[in-house]
């Protein structure tokens, strides 16, 4: 009887210890407001094209045929459509969004334009949900300030970035509650994960700026990540 009781207690301790060891890491929450998603598109596409926003961003990111690109937070696909035109047939393009309705709109748009080959992905607020080492350029255009868990999202993006990859973030130079991200804050938040700023360019006459980051060779431990001040 005593032996049975001992075995039961030992098994319980082992199960508890196992649970403790394999517990999911807890990422810090952003120490600033997260903007609500209010639309599937940032602005009027004709105006953006008039200011050559997409062309300039793609040029600055070195996007050319053969480069594998992820359009994260693609919405209705302003960049997805233009990436497809630039990269041509057989290109590797991922278009992700956390909103199922936006995904449906994007799929319908791609179908109506006869654009095939784009891998459309319903992602989560915590994870882009992309394959390992599948991306040469990750683009987040006017969406970073809406990411619910930016530290975890950008941490989990890392595994999908190939050797030599770069991350381009387009946003407005204003507070996150006003649907932008101050450059200083963006540098701090990505820097907390080990991402290194490689380039910065205001996009005038188009809105906002482009900041380019290089991912770290190795991520810091989750426990060491500290949220930046607003």
The pLDDT tens digits of the residues spanning 115-134 come to 999 999 999 999 999 999 99
* pTM of the predicted structure, to 2 decimals: 0.87
pLDDT reading at 6 higher than 50: no
- C-alpha separations of 109 from 72, 95, 102, 114 in Å: 17, 12, 10, 9
- C-alpha separations of 71 from 119, 139, 147, 215 in Å: 10, 5, 14, 17
pLDDT over 90 for what percent of the chain?
83
Kindly give, in sequence order, each residue whose CB lies less than 8 Å from that of residue 19, ignoring residues fewer than 6 positions away.
Answer: none
pLDDT over 70 for what percent of the chain?
88
pLDDT reading at 16 higher than 60: no
| Predicted pLDDT of residue 228 | 97
C-alpha 162/C-alpha 134 separation (Å) is 6
pLDDT reading at 8 higher than 90: no
Minimum mean pLDDT range among 50-54, 92-96, 193-197:
50-54
What's 29-224's CATH class? alpha beta
Closest CA to 187 of 157, 229, 220, 156: 229
Minimum mean pLDDT range among 7-21, 89-103, 200-214:
7-21
Dihedral angle sign, alpha carbons of residues 13, 14, 15, 17: positive
Ordered by start, the domain boundaries in the chain are 29-224
Instruction: Give tens-digit pLDDT for 142-182.
Output: 999 999 999 999 999 999 999 999 999 999 999 999 999 99
Mean pLDDT of 51-79: 97
Burial (CB count <10 Å: 0-12, 13-18, 19+), residue 27? buried
| Predicted pLDDT of residue 132 | 98
């Amino acid at each position: 009887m005593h032996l049975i009781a001992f075995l039961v207690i030992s098994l319980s301790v082992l199960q508890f210890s196992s649970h403790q060891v394999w517990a999911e890491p807890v990422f810090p929450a952003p120490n600033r407001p997260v903007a609500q998603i209010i639309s599937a598109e940032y602005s009027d596409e004709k105006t953006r094209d008039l200011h050559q926003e997409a062309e300039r961003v793609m040029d600055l990111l070195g996007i050319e045929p053969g480069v594998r690109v992820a359009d994260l937070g693609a919405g209705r696909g302003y960049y997805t459509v233009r990436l497809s035109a630039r990269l041509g047939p057989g290109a590797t393009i991922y278009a992700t969004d956390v909103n199922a309705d936006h995904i449906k709109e994007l799929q319908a748009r791609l179908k109506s334009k006869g654009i095939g080959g784009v891998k459309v992905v319903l992602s989560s607020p915590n994870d882009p949900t992309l394959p390992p080492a599948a991306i040469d350029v990750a683009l987040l255009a006017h969406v970073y300030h809406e990411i619910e868990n930016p530290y975890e999202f950008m941490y989990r993006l890392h595994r999908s970035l190939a050797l030599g990859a770069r991350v381009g973030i387009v946003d407005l130079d204003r507070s996150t509650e006003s649907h932008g991200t101050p450059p200083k804050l963006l540098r701090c938040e990505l820097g907390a994960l080990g991402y290194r700023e490689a380039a910065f360019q205001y996009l005038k006459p188009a809105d906002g700026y482009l900041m380019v980051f290089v991912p770290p060779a190795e991520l810091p431990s989750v426990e060491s990540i500290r949220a930046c001040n607003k």
